[in-house]
Amino acid sequence: MSDDSHKPVLLRRERLVAAGVVLIWTILAARLVQIQGLQRKEFAHRARRQQTIEQTIPARPGDIFDRSGRLLATTTRAESLFVDPSRIDDPWGVSLSLSEAVHIDSDRLYERIGASRNSRFLWVKRRLSRDEADAVRRLDLPRHCWGLRREYLRQYPQGTLASHVLGLRDIDGIGRGGVEQAFDALLRGRDGTRRLVRDARGFVLDELDQVAQPVEHGQDIHLTLDAVVQTHVEHQLDRLMEEWKPVAVSAVVLDPNSGEIVAMASRPTFDQNDPGAGDGEGWVNRAIAAVSEPGSTFKPLIVAWALDRELLLRDEPFDCEQGEYRMGGRLLHDHHPYGVLSTADVLVKSSNIGMAKIGERLGNERLHTAATAFGFGRKTGVELPGELSGTLRPLPLWTDYSLGSIPMGQELSATPLQVVTAHAVLANGGRMITPHLFASGRHPAPSPRNVVTSRVIGEEAANWVVRVPLVQVVERGTGRKAALEDFQVFGKSGTAQKFDAATGQYSHTRHVCSFVCGAPADDPRLLVLVTVDEPTVGGPHFGGTVAAPAAAQILRRALLYRENRTRFAEDFDDAVPAR
Amino acid sequence: MFFRFGAALVLVILIALLGIAIEKRNLALRRSISLQDYRREQLLEQRARLRLETEQLGAPGRLLDEVEAGRLPLEVAEEAESSSVAR
């Protein structure tokens, strides 16, 4: 009786349980369909994101070599120290230990850690030395709160040599200044990536090589610089700084036939291996970023141009008025009173009056054309950032005053590189060649900049100016201190008065002394320009007394070195027969 | 029937074992490539460091004063050079 009465209840309960089970299974099946079917893509994407990590493979920057394969810049690996501030239990203790190991200020580090307590990452010091990295490891700090990451460190094995030309790589590996910036795209390369599979604890299980982006290391580049000549140049500049205590000095050595820059230096300078030291003045490459009036170094250019256009004769006499000549409302002076001078002697004696008379004959329009033809007022196109174009005012702004000023190198300004490039036109027989640093023919990639060659004047006029008046400048003129026993030198001195903004007039005490010279006169192989900005001790301050001896020494050493190299190469070729 | 079943089973097992062997070999090769990549990196780094040191020691700026002052015996170096050339 009682069993029969319980049957409907049991049956109901069974059905309830069965319905519950069916419901649960239905829910599970629906969820399965949702996960595996409807939201499959989303969950698969989420799983992939959790399991795989993308790791950057940094590209190693390319090396920089000089023309003989000497290493100027290279890259090694160094370790950088970071901490996880959120997991540091004892910030002061960690700050104290780390600061002793890596030689930084402990208070400053403590402050930085305190300010980043919610962060998971904080650089302590980047690019540690090996000793510093070892010292950090020996501290035995809790492993979860610090780490060392490997980064590339740019190194300059020649020290401060050619620092303005090379520039440097900043803390993030980006080229700043000089060749490092100009050729950054070539040198830096392209970082690669690899995707790694990791487990729940973060341990790497596998590398998904099919999706990796291969790393492209930076390309090596070869420059036209010669480290030996560059060293000679920098020694001479250091001596000039010591002897004349000027504000700055610079020098450029150029091959006039190819436009290759063999050396370029500037003082004050900076140390790429320790860029924080020194003041901001040292960062300026004065060979391309300091402008001044070219002064008398401009005179031979005007004479050559006028000769080439047959507006002037080689043996033409000019009355130099015994040192005083009134030109409109302006009274011109020469350093010494001269009577009648030939065209050559106007240059040899560097007569301002003689040049003013040549200027009167040419007129402003032709003078402007000549200055433009020699590259004044525009950048030379050298592959360096920060080059200035100098100043060549538009022709409508020129006045009668310009007839006297322009031929003697006033009323316009130029960088030392512009001046030496213009003189290269005379030295190579009349062709303007873009000065450059990228040695062509040694790279798989073409030069990033074009080297343009164009004719400015005829060969005859250029050769005469070099072989007659400019040789005589050194033999019996203002450049006698540049004479060498080994080579026949040609050259021209320049002494430009600096403009005094306070008085609005040219200063009689502040000068820019320069000397441009080359050798041998019958086949010039190298040109040297030395510019000394405002010598402050000794005297007198002329281009021929201050800059000429240094320019001649640089020229002599560079030519002798090149001759020895050629002789050695010939001996070597003779000794080792071609296979 | 049993023979055919057994043969099929053996075939399946053999294919599975072959797959495992290939997978193991693949893993071993990948490990070896990875190790060689690591060694290559190490050697490149070592080469860069040694070249850096060599260039620092032979830098013109470091040697020029010595050469000009006659403190470096260049003749010996030239003799060594010529003898190596002759050989």
A286 contacts A407 by C-beta, under 8 angstroms? no
Closest CA to A221 of A441, A446, A62: A62
Residue with tokens 């193991």: B24
List the single best residue of B26, B52, B81 to mutate versus A (max A Cβ within 10 A). B52
Q: How far apart are CA A514 and CA A532, in angstroms?
A: 6
A437 contacts A225 by C-beta, under 8 angstroms? yes
* Residue A447 predicted with pLDDT over 70: no
* Residue A503 predicted with pLDDT over 90: no
**Which region, left, alpha or beta, applies to residue A88 given φ > 0 means left and ψ of -120 to 50 means alpha?**
beta
A221 contacts A438 by C-beta, under 8 angstroms? yes
Helices (DSSP H) in A398-526: which residue ranges? Answer: 400-405, 416-427, 459-465, 471-476
Range of the domain at B16: 2-61
* Residue A199 predicted with pLDDT over 90: no
In a domain, B25, yes or no: yes
Q: How far apart are CA A300 and CA A303, in angstroms?
A: 5
Q: Calculate the dihedral angle through the C-alpha atoms of A343, A515, A388, A355, rounding to the nearest 10 degrees.
A: -20
* Residue A1 predicted with pLDDT over 70: no
Which range, of A97-106, B25-34, B76-85, averages the lowest pLDDT?
B76-85
* Residue A202 predicted with pLDDT over 70: yes
Residue A126: alpha-carbon gap to chain centroid: 24
Specify the higher pLDDT residue, A5 or A458: A458
* Residue A210 predicted with pLDDT over 80: no
A197 contacts A52 by C-beta, under 8 angstroms? yes
Which range, of A58-67, A210-219, A354-363, A541-550, averages the lowest pLDDT?
A210-219
A516, amino acid identity: V
* Residue A265 predicted with pLDDT over 50: yes
Average pLDDT of chain A is 89
Which residues in chain A are closer than 8 Å to B86, comparing Cβ atoms?
575
pLDDT at A575: 62
Which residues in chain B are closer than 8 Å to A232, comparing Cβ atoms?
64
CA distances from A87 to A116, A118, A142 (A): 11, 9, 9
Buried b (16+ CB within 10 A) or exposed e, A349-381: bbbbbbbbbbbeebebebbbebbebbbbbebbb
- The answer to whether A154 contacts chain B (CB < 8 Å) is no
Ranges assigned E (strand) in A486-567:
490-500, 505-519, 526-533
B85 with A572: Cβ contact below 8 A: yes
Count of the separate structural domains present in chain B: 1
List the single best residue of A55, A153, A158, A226 to mutate versus B (max B Cβ within 10 A). A158
- Other CB atoms within 10 Å distance of the CB of residue A188: 22
* Residue A550 predicted with pLDDT over 70: yes
Q: Where are the domains positioned within chain A?
A: 51-70+158-222, 75-102+116-151, 227-272+282-569
Specify the higher pLDDT residue, A213 or A154: A154
* Residue A206 predicted with pLDDT over 90: no
Q: How far apart are CA B68 and CA B64, in angstroms?
A: 6
* Residue A569 predicted with pLDDT over 90: no
Report A:91-130 residues touching B (Cβ under 8 A). Answer: none
In a domain, B20, yes or no: yes
**Per-residue pLDDT tens over the stretch A270-288:** 888 777 777 778 889 999 9
In a domain, B54, yes or no: yes
- Residue A145 DSSP label: G
3-state secondary structure of A59: coil
Q: How far apart are CA A366 and CA A555, in angstroms?
A: 33
Span A511-537, mean pLDDT? 93
pLDDT at A211: 57
Q: How far apart are CA A39 and CA A353, in angstroms?
A: 92
Preceding peptide of A540 cis, ω within 30°: yes
Closest by Cβ to A74, choosing from B52, B61, B64? B52
pLDDT at A445: 60
User: Could you tell me what percent of chain A has a pLDDT over 90?
Assistant: 62
- The answer to whether B84 contacts chain A (CB < 8 Å) is no
pLDDT band at A576 (very low <50, low <70, confident <90, very high): low
3-state secondary structure of A512: strand
Which range, of A20-24, A301-305, A438-442, A574-578, averages the lowest pLDDT?
A574-578
Pair of tokens at residue A204: 């790497």
How far is A27 from chain B, CA to nearest CA, in Å?
38
Pair of tokens at residue A529: 């320009």
Q: How many helices (H) and strands (E) does chain A have?
A: 18, 23
* Residue B80 predicted with pLDDT over 70: no
CATH class as words, domain A51-70+158-222: alpha beta
- The answer to whether A235 contacts chain B (CB < 8 Å) is yes
pLDDT at B58: 87
CA distances from B47 to A77, A510, B52, B62 (A): 12, 51, 8, 22
Residue A49: alpha-carbon gap to chain centroid: 43
A355, amino acid identity: M
In a domain, B29, yes or no: yes
**Per-residue pLDDT tens over the stretch A301-347:** 999 999 999 999 998 999 998 888 888 778 888 888 999 999 999 99
B55 with A71: Cβ contact below 8 A: yes
Q: How far apart are CA A134 and CA B22, in angstroms?
A: 43
A252 contacts A420 by C-beta, under 8 angstroms? yes
- The answer to whether B85 contacts chain A (CB < 8 Å) is yes
Closest CA to A184 of A71, A59, A271: A59
Which residues in chain A are closer than 8 Å to B48, comparing Cβ atoms?
74-76
Span A516-543, mean pLDDT? 91
* Residue A578 predicted with pLDDT over 80: no
Which residues in chain A are closer than 8 Å to B61, comparing Cβ atoms?
158-159, 161, 231, 234
**Per-residue pLDDT tens over the stretch A475-500:** 999 999 999 988 999 999 999 888 88
Query: What's the distance, Cα to Cα, between the start and end of chain B in Å?
Result: 81
Specify the higher pLDDT residue, B65 or A496: A496
pLDDT at A572: 60
pLDDT at A236: 94
In a domain, B86, yes or no: no
Average pLDDT of chain B is 81
Closest by Cβ to B45, choosing from A77, A159, A230? A77
A425 contacts A462 by C-beta, under 8 angstroms? yes
- The answer to whether B60 contacts chain A (CB < 8 Å) is yes
- The answer to whether A572 contacts chain B (CB < 8 Å) is yes
Which residues in chain B are closer than 8 Å to A158, comparing Cβ atoms?
55-56, 59-61
Give the DSSP letter string of A219-249. Answer: PPEEBS--HHHHHHHHHHHHHHHHHH--SEE
Preceding peptide of A520 cis, ω within 30°: yes
In a domain, B66, yes or no: no
pLDDT at A25: 95
Q: How far apart are CA A194 and CA A58, in angstroms?
A: 11
pLDDT at A529: 97
pLDDT at B83: 44
Please state the CATH superfamily assignment of the domain spanning residues A227-272+282-569 in this structure: DD-peptidase/beta-lactamase superfamily (3.40.710.10)
User: Phi and psi at residue A24, in whole multiples of 5°?
Assistant: -60, -45
Contacts of A479 (CB under 8 A, 6+ apart): A473, A489, A491, A492, A493, A515, A517, A543, A544, A548
pLDDT band at A209 (very low <50, low <70, confident <90, very high): low
Sign of the alpha-carbon dihedral angle for A447, A448, A449, A450: positive
Span A69-83, mean pLDDT? 93
In a domain, B39, yes or no: yes
Span A381-397, mean pLDDT? 93
Which residues in chain A are closer than 8 Å to B60, comparing Cβ atoms?
70, 158, 161, 227-228, 230-231
A76 with B45: Cβ contact below 8 A: yes
**Per-residue pLDDT tens over the stretch A134-150:** 999 998 888 888 999 88
- The answer to whether B47 contacts chain A (CB < 8 Å) is no
Q: How far apart are CA A267 and CA A530, in angstroms?
A: 11
pLDDT at A444: 61
A478 contacts A542 by C-beta, under 8 angstroms? yes
In a domain, B40, yes or no: yes
pLDDT at B87: 37
